[in-house]
Amino acid sequence: MFTRRLWRQQCSQLTRYRWLLLIGLFATVISGLRSWSQSPNLSPLVLYKTLFEIGGFSWGYLPIGLIVGLSVISPRLNDYGATGSRSIWICQLGVQSFLLQGTLWLVWTGIMAARFSELVGWPASWIVVWGCVQVGINQVFFVSVALAVYIATQQKLIAVMGTWLGEMLLADLLARPQSPFLRFQSPSTPEMTWVATGLLIGGMGLLWGLMVMIINRRDL
Amino acid sequence: MGVVWQRLNKRTLILAFSVSLMLAMIQFYPTLRLIGDQSDYFDSAYTKWLGVDTFQSISQVYYLVLPLLAALPVGSVLNQDHVTGFLTQLRMKVPTKVLFRGYFGWSFLLGGLVTALPLLVNLWGHLLVLPSYRPDNLLHSNILVISFNTLSVGMYYAHPLLHAALAIGRTFVWGGLLSLFVTGVGLYTRQRFMGIGLVVLTQLGLILVQPLGVTSHSFAPADFLRETANANVSWPAALGVTAVFSGVTLYLAIRGWQRLVHA
């Protein structure tokens, strides 16, 4: 009963910010469409690299996700008295992030898969979908970092700027072979990336744990 | 303007200046290592400073995060005071005209200074450590400053300091305008982050549109604020975008304030 109310409330929250969401979706579509201008004569490997170039993620997709995600976040929207538990605020953050980042990811993945299948064919598109899953994991990780900074400082601008600047400035370091981050620039099987994926998911777990701790320790 | 200055959070102001100065200094650091070495490219301060550097990603990062830096010191202060009721309290003691000048004046001034001052420091630093040779279109062909990607390219080769000053001036005006826009949007919504989100998303959209071939010239401030860009730029496009954005910003600020006063 309460879960249903929570989801309904978060969906209606999204409609309140429909203009910002529409601009965000529009920017995501343009960001994805940039890859459509590539020549159709490219080999599948080169095409994959251009679709998933690091600049597209750092300067296009990630900031859109961070800004749209944090703009809509309203951590004390739900009434604490209804449940008597602070965990409701974490549930809210989770649902809001899932809805927003999920929508952006679906649009992005759809554009990428459509372009790749148009040039290479449908059977090969699963490689792109797996690449998009890896992009999604990185997206959720950096959004979690921004959320943790926001929960700690209560400053959305500092959270977005800190996370985005940090990712852009450290991009060369983060994309190195030894690093678990940004591992989506060359086609790979799940077996090749499970360590990186596991580390990122573990990192996300730590960040969400940190958020729970901060929310539980903060005065009402 | 003194009332609003006293109310401003100086820590945020210092943070904004620190971040923008840090970015400008990161770009300057590789130049420091050139001191005493023989350069193969007859490097000049005018071919290496942040506004003309298209090789280091940090210079592109600076212009990408410019809207966030501009909005950080004062952008959301008016919205915060409006939501908390502090503005209503102030209006009982201070004339509304003085308050309008204070909020919007500081917003423009500090938004401009936070973005333009680090550029000035960066150029000054380069002038201190590198010779101020006038750029040459053959000797410095490696930086590819041509009419397609540079506004007033003739001035760049004839009067480089003036050209650099013009780029810093454009950045100051746009920094101020971006901060004013965020302040203006804050009068229409209770969400502090809405204006900043709109500005950054619009800039990203404008940057991404040009490679699609929809327009022949870039409409993104991140491209035409620099001395030379990685995209095609032109004065009509730059002035057109500036005029439209200024109009929208002034409308939002004046109309929003009138709505607030007559509410």
pLDDT at A105: 93
Greatest C-alpha distance within chain A: 61
pLDDT value of position A34: 73
| Joined tokens for residue A173 | 């370091």
Which of A179-193, B144-158, B168-182 has the least mean pLDDT? A179-193
Contact B192 A24 (CB under 8 A): no
**Model confidence at B166, in pLDDT bands (50, 70, 90)?**
very high
Identify the residue among B19, B208, B214 best suited for mutation to test binding to A, counting A beta carbons within 10 A and taking the highest: B208
> Which residues neighbour A186 within 8 Å (Cβ) at sequence distance 6 or greater?
A45, A48, A49
CB contact B13 to A (< 8 Å) = no
If chain A, 220 residues long, is cut into consecutive pieces of 10 residues, what is the mean pLDDT of each piece?
A: 78 79 83 71 79 82 89 70 76 88 91 83 81 91 94 88 90 82 81 86 94 82
Q: Which chain B residues are within 8 Å of A165, Cβ to Cβ?
A: 19, 23, 61, 65
Q: What is the pLDDT at residue B37?
A: 65
Q: Give the tokens for residue A80.
A: 């604490």
Cα distances (angstroms) measured from residue B21 to each of A158, B60, B112, B120, B179? 16, 15, 14, 10, 18
- Residue numbers in A near B76 (CB within 8 A): 157
Q: Hunting for tokens 């679906």 — which residue is that?
A: A106
Q: Where are the domains of chain A?
A: 2-217
Smallest Cα distance from A193 to chain B, Å: 27
DSSP reduced 3-state for B226? coil
- Interchain contact, A59 vs B207, CB within 8 Å: yes
In this prediction, residue B120 carries a pLDDT of: 96
From residue B248, alpha-carbon distances to A65, B82, B252, B255 in Å are: 26, 21, 6, 10
* Res. B144 pLDDT band, cuts 50 70 90: confident
Kindly determine whether residue A168 and residue B200, on different chains, have CB atoms separated by under 8 Å.
no
The reported pLDDT for the residue numbered B116 is 96
Residue B197 three-state SS: helix
Instruction: Provide the pLDDT for residue A220.
Output: 57
CA distance B177 to B253: 11
B71 touches chain A (CB under 8 A): yes
Judge: B212–A33 Cβ closer than 8 Å, yes or no: yes
| A115 lies within 8 A of chain B by CB | no
Q: Inter-chain contact B64–A168, Cβ cutoff 8 Å?
A: yes
* Chain A stretch 1-20, residues whose beta carbon is closer than 8 A to a beta carbon of chain B: 17, 20
Considering only CB atoms, which chain B residues are within 8 Å of A30?
A: 205, 208-209, 212
pLDDT of residue B40: 63
pLDDT given at position A59: 84
User: In this model, does residue B216 exceed pLDDT 60?
Assistant: yes
Answer for the pair B150, B227: CB distance below 8 angstroms, yes or no.
yes
Instruction: Give B228's strand partners.
Output: B150
The two structure tokens encoding residue A105: 């990811």
Number of continuous H segments (helices) and E segments (strands) in chain B = 13, 0
- Residue A79 is predicted with a pLDDT of 65
Specify the pTM.
Answer: 0.88
Does the distance separating the beta carbons of B60 and A67 come in below 8 Å? no
Most confident of B43-52, B92-101, B108-117: B108-117
Which residue from B193, B198, B208 is facing A156, i.e. has the nearest CB?
B193
Residue B63 has pLDDT above 70, yes or no: yes
Contact by Cβ (8 Å): B72, A155: no
Please give the structure tokens belonging to residue A27.
């920017």
Name residue B222's beta-bridge partners: none
Contact B68 A157 (CB under 8 A): yes
pLDDT tens-digit map of B226-261 = 999 988 899 999 999 999 999 999 999 999 999 887
**What rounded mean pLDDT belongs to chain B?**
89
Question: Is A100's Cβ below 8 Å from some Cβ in B?
Answer: no
A39 in contact with B, Cβ within 8 Å = no
Q: Are B239 and B217 in contact (CB under 8 A)?
A: no
Q: Does A38 touch chain B (CB under 8 A)?
A: no
CA distance B58 to chain A (A): 7
| Six token digits for residue B165 | 């000053």
* Closest in B58, B60, B204 to A63, CB measured: B204
Altogether, the residues listed in chain B come to a count of 263
> Does A66 touch chain B if contact means CB atoms closer than 8 Å?
no
Residues 6+ apart with CB under 8 A from A166: A145
Q: How far is A190 from chain B (nearest CA, A)?
A: 31
A200 CB-contact burial (10 Å; exposed 0-12 / middle 13-18 / buried 19+): buried
Q: SS3 sequence, chain A?
A: CHHHHHHHHHHHHHHHCHHHHHHHHHHHHHHHHHHHHCCCCCCHHHHHHHHCCHHHHHHHHHHHHHHHHHHHCCCCCCCHHHHCCCHHHHHHHHHHHHHHHHHHHHHHHHHHHHHHHHHCCHHHHHHHHHHHHHHHHHHHHHHHHHHHHHHHHCCHHHHHHHHHHHHHHCHHHHCCCCCCCCCCCCCCCHHHHHHHHHHHHHHHHHHHHHHHHHHHHCCC
Domain ranges of chain B: 2-262
Q: Is A77 on the interface with B (CB under 8 A)?
A: no
pLDDT at A77: 64
